[in-house]
């Protein structure tokens, strides 16, 4: 099987590359990534040593994508590539439209023209909008689409575009919408890496508003196993929610990180709330569990332990490399929250 993975140098994408390599070592993998703020080729060092091909470029570059499909003759496309950060989308919505909507269209056109056997589009629970603080509901695949930010609006648009290519042109599309991911290789702009890095430096941990906003957290490797299950056994034209059934308020995440690395809670600092900040996300993954037999395997305690240990090593190595090579240190002033699944 020949597989194109877009955004495969990012957080979730790079984790998926390794999950796929281990599960299906006979497949030929190609990664297309623009290497923007959250994509790092070093994430793929081991994968390239194992034969993964890397191509640098943007998904909205039609000439590049067409040439890549013509050369690669891909059977599957796993589409992670997207601009993902809510705060960045508030500052520059146009970039999100270009990449997330127009870029997805370019890929879908190529998938149609070259007859791919499966096009899997990785989306986010943020397309559903949010649930109120007092709600006990969960999002299902039938929930209304009510995006709150330019980021989630462009992801919703790309979802609809993918589904339209299935109905109109017969492109064999599947879609997954996941809750907040955490784990190795995540961008240092996102909530958990920010908290770990700042706590390790005894710096204030910035938390939006009162910290009561709730997210459902999913270990990245469990998410990647769900995607592979959908590719192998999912039904074309279907949407599958992928969640951890693991809701935590942001303030409690901060306290957990501080506890794991033995730092005092007085490092927590509240900052001005994000515009249009969603209150609560909660995902119902029962369709995926029932139809494909998937369930998250990693407890939050174990996943967070692995994540903290990974970042402690990464921060140490980056600090020493920075001093040797004159590189900029890891960001120390970010207050952003992890928001989604892609670019991963």
Share of the chain above pLDDT 70, in %: 91
Residue 225 known to be catalytic? no
**DSSP per residue over 30-75, as a string?**
EEEE---TT--GGGGHHHHHTT-EEEE--TT-HHHHHHHHHHH--S
User: Quick check: 9 and 39 in contact, CB under 8 A?
Assistant: yes
Residue 130 known to be catalytic? no
For residue range 77-133, what is the model confidence (pLDDT) as tens digits? Answer: 999 999 987 888 999 999 999 999 999 999 999 999 999 999 999 999 999 998 877
Instruction: Identify the CA nearest to 327 among candidates 42, 118, 101.
Output: 42
User: Quick check: 16 and 224 in contact, CB under 8 A?
Assistant: yes
Residue 338: is its pLDDT beyond 70?
Answer: no
Q: What does the pLDDT read at residue 187? A: 78
- Average pLDDT on 27-34 reads 98
Residue 262 known to be catalytic? no
Q: How many CB atoms lie within 10 A of CB 67?
A: 14
Quickly state the pLDDT bin for 334 (edges 50, 70, 90).
very low
**Max CA pair span of the chain:** 57
**CATH homologous superfamily for the domain 184-215+246-280+298-325:** UDP-galactose 4-epimerase, domain 1 (3.90.25.10)
Instruction: Please pick, among 33, 83, 125, 222, the residue that the annotation labels catalytic.
Output: 125
Q: Report the predicted TM-score, pTM, of the whole model to 2 decimal places.
A: 0.86
For residue range 164-219, what is the model confidence (pLDDT) as tens digits? Answer: 999 999 999 999 999 999 998 887 778 898 899 899 899 999 898 889 888 899 99
Instruction: Please pick, among 60, 83, 126, 247, the residue that the annotation labels catalytic.
Output: 126
- Residue length of the chain: 344
- Least confident segment among 35-44, 106-115, 328-337: 328-337
Instruction: Please pick, among 16, 18, 128, 151, the residue that the annotation labels catalytic.
Output: 151
10-22 as b/e, with b when 16 or more CB fall inside 10 Å?
bbbbbbbbbbbbe
Tell the residue number behind the tokens 């040797």, with chain if given: 324
- Average pLDDT on 311-340 reads 45
Distance CA 40, CA 187 (A): 9
Domain 2-181+218-242 fold is Rossmann fold (3.40.50)
For residue range 242-271, what is the model confidence (pLDDT) as tens digits? Answer: 999 888 899 999 999 999 989 999 999 998
Quickly state the pLDDT bin for 53 (edges 50, 70, 90).
very high
Q: Where are the domains of the chain?
A: 2-181+218-242, 184-215+246-280+298-325
Q: How many CB atoms lie within 10 A of CB 97?
A: 18
- Average pLDDT on 54-76 reads 98
Q: In terms of DSSP bridges, do strands 247-249 and 214-219 run parallel, antiparallel, or are they unpaired? A: antiparallel
Tell the residue number behind the tokens 């993954």, with chain if given: 285
């Amino acid at each position: 099987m020949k597989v194109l993975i877009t955004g495969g140098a990012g957080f979730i994408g790079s984790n998926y590359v390794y999950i796929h390599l281990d599960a299906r070592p006979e497949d030929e993998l190609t990664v297309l990534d623009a290497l923007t703020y959250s994509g790092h080729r070093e994430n793929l060092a081991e994968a390239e040593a194992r034969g993964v091909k890397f191509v640098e470029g943007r998904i909205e570059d039609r000439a590049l994508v067409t040439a890549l499909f013509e050369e690669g003759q891909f059977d599957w496309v796993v589409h992670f590539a997207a601009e993902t950060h809510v705060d960045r989308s508030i500052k520059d919505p146009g970039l999100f439209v270009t990449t997330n909507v127009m870029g997805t269209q370019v890929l879908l056109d190529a998938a149609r023209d070259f007859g791919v056997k499966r096009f899997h589009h990785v989306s986010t629970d943020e397309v559903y909008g949010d649930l109120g603080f007092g709600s006990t509901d969960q999002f299902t695949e039938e929930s209304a689409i009510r995006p709150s930010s330019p980021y989630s609006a462009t992801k919703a648009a790309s979802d609809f575009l993918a589904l339209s290519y299935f109905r109109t042109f017969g492109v064999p599309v599947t879609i997954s919408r996941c809750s907040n991911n955490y784990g190795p290789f995540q961008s240092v702009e996102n909530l958990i890496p920010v908290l770990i890095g700042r706590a390790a430096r005894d710096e204030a941990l910035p938390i939006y508003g009162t910290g009561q906003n709730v997210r459902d957290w999913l270990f990245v490797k469990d998410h990647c196993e769900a995607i592979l299950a959908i590719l192998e056994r999912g039904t074309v034209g279907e949407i599958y929610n992928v969640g951890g059934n693991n809701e935590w308020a942001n303030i409690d995440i901060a306290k957990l990180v501080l506890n794991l690395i033995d730092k005092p809670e007085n490092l927590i600092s509240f900052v001005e709330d994000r515009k249009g900040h969603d209150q609560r996300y909660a995902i119902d993954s029962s369709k995926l569990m029932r139809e494909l037999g998937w369930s998250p395997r990693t407890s939050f305690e174990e996943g967070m332990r692995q994540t903290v240990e990974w970042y402690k090593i990464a921060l140490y190595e980056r600090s020493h490399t920075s001093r040797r090579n004159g590189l900029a240190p890891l960001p120390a002033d970010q207050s952003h929250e992890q928001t989604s699944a892609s670019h991963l």
